Amino acid sequence: MTLPDRFGRPLRNLRLSVTDRCNLRCQYCMPEEEYVWLPKSNVLTFEEMLRLVDVFVSLGVDKVRLTGGEPLLRADLPVLVQMLAQRPAIADLALTTNGVLLRDHAVALRQAGLHRVTVSLDTLDASTFQLLSRRNDLARVLDGIAAAREAGFTEIKLDSVVIAGVNDQELPALVSFAQSVGAEVRFIEYMDVGGATHWRMDRVVSRARMLALLGAHFGAIGEVARTSSAPAEQFVLADGTKFGIISSVTAPFCASCDRARLTADGMWFTCLYAKDGTDLRALLRGGASDEVVRQKLLEVWAGRVDRGAEERAAMPLRAPLAAVGSLRQNPHLEMHTRGG
Ligand code: SAM
Ligand code: SF4
Ligand code: SF4
């Protein structure tokens, strides 16, 4: 079944955050020194996650992406993957990771039945990596990408958030690196989401600017026709190398957004920018039946009118979404809690 929201958008895609913890501190996501973490006792068990996933699947979700925080910090993640992989209705089962721990887990994840891996990689330069993430782990990330290939993952994607003056000169090198390891890079415009307290419009590198930078290096760039609701637009170089751009700031794609997010403690958000979510943990732990949870999801999605990025784009003066104080009071606003 497909369930339309108020703008006719179906619910197809679930981003499932398995932890809010992270082993990097990316400037664009976790720039502060201190964070308020979700209480451990609130974090859903795998059984609870699977119960919710099954209800989502019964409403039409057929794509599940595991995220975080850093999902590989969640103990026994391959066990969850294996349980999800046994559900034939999930046509696409993916993981987004910063790659630091991928060498340790790639084989187990592949054997558990994970379909696809996306690794965040913003730079190929060790000092820029240190500046961006406040950790010295570039070599581990690159080795993690190699490990994913060795484990047999074929459709590897590399996601790069582009920030003016930080890594915008590296776009051609990232395209070439991705091609050399059999992966595809997707450049993401730096977004003013919760957690991005250092965001400024003049640090956003627009899709148009990215294409100009890449065109100056590689020559003609062609557009690949869209075949899905995926946020990335795909482009192709003269030699056939493909790359993507996710222009969430300058050309938002809310009109086709079929995505929802479940935090590790069971809050369900129908938009990356939504201020409020639905507390599904309270329902589960309060003894609600699957049917009651299902009715709640139906009711919330049927009333969904979210178009956060489009609303932000229409603002004449844009500033970070949330101040540090409000993030401390409500960590659910954070990108690393919502799962990106
Ligand atoms: N830790 C994992 C990782 O980095 O891949 C998964 C979670 S992370 C929150 C998911 C995605 O959100 C990453 O690709 C990251 O680059 C992206 N992200 C975080 N903050 C962002 C921002 N301000 N603008 C654009 N993308 C952002
Ligand atoms: Fe970076 Fe992902 Fe961690 Fe955010 S959650 S700090 S994007 S590695
Ligand atoms: Fe979807 Fe909200 Fe992102 Fe728009 S801003 S694409 S509605 S999650």
109 Cβ neighbours under 8 A, 6+ residues apart: 77, 78, 81, 95, 117, 151
Residue 231's pLDDT is 85
Q: Is 160 touching ligand 2 by the criterion CB < 6 Å? A: no
Quick one: which ligand is closest to 13's CA? 3
**Alpha-carbon distances of 223 from 177, 210, 237, 238, rounded to whole Å:** 20, 14, 9, 11
Residue 223's pLDDT is 96
Torsion angles phi and psi, residue 262, rounded to 5: -120, 120
**In the predicted model, is pLDDT for residue 216 greater than 80?**
yes
Residue 143 CA, distance from chain mean position: 21
- By three-state DSSP, how is residue 337 classified? helix
Split at pLDDT 50, 70, 90, the class of 323 is confident
Structure tokens given for 22: 């992270």
- Which tens digits make up the pLDDT trace of 93-121? 999 999 999 999 999 999 999 999 999 99
**In the predicted model, is pLDDT for residue 320 greater than 90?**
no
**In the predicted model, is pLDDT for residue 319 greater than 90?**
no
Q: Is 160 touching ligand 1 by the criterion CB < 6 Å? A: no
Q: How far apart are CA 101 and CA 73, in angstroms?
A: 8
Give mean pLDDT, residues 29-55.
96
Residue 1's pLDDT is 62
Split at pLDDT 50, 70, 90, the class of 326 is confident
What DSSP state is assigned to residue 117? E
Q: Is 29 touching ligand 2 by the criterion CB < 6 Å? A: yes
Bridge pairing between strands 184-189 and 221-224? unpaired
More confident residue, 279 or 321: 279
**In the predicted model, is pLDDT for residue 142 greater than 80?**
yes
Structure tokens given for 46: 């795998």
Give mean pLDDT, residues 20-29.
97
Q: How far apart are CA 162 and CA 148, in angstroms?
A: 24
Torsion angles phi and psi, residue 197, rounded to 5: -75, -15
Q: How far apart are CA 66 and CA 72, in angstroms?
A: 10
Give mean pLDDT, residues 124-131.
98
**In the predicted model, is pLDDT for residue 2 greater than 80?**
no
The answer to whether the CB of 64 falls within 8 A of the CB of 90 is yes
Whose tokens are 């991705």? That residue is 178
- By three-state DSSP, how is residue 268 classified? strand
Quick one: which ligand is closest to 261's CA? 3
Quickly list H helices, 113-225.
Answer: 126-133, 138-150, 171-180, 207-218
Mutating to test ligand 2, I would choose from 15, 27, 29 the residue with most ligand atoms within 8 A of its C-beta, which is 29
Residue 230's pLDDT is 79
Torsion angles phi and psi, residue 163, rounded to 5: -125, 130
The answer to whether the CB of 248 falls within 8 A of the CB of 188 is yes
Q: How far apart are CA 121 and CA 242, in angstroms?
A: 17
Torsion angles phi and psi, residue 44, rounded to 5: -65, 145
Structure tokens given for 286: 């309060």
Give mean pLDDT, residues 303-328.
88
Give mean pLDDT, residues 135-154.
98
Asked if the 13-338 domain carries CATH number 3.20.20.70, the reply is yes
Give mean pLDDT, residues 259-288.
97
What is the overall mean pLDDT for the chain? 95
Structure tokens given for 69: 């925080």
Burial class of residue 160 in the structure, from the number of CB atoms within 10 Å of its CB (0-12 exposed, 13-18 middle, 19+ buried): buried
Q: Kind and range of the H or E element at 118?
A: strand 116-120
Atom of ligand 3 nearest to the CA of 231: 6
The pTM (predicted TM-score) of the whole model is: 0.97
Quick one: which ligand is closest to 273's CA? 3
**In the predicted model, is pLDDT for residue 228 greater than 90?**
no
Instruction: Kindly report the protein residue whose alpha carbon is nearest to atom 11 of ligand 1.
Output: 340
Q: How far apart are CA 148 and CA 137, in angstroms?
A: 17
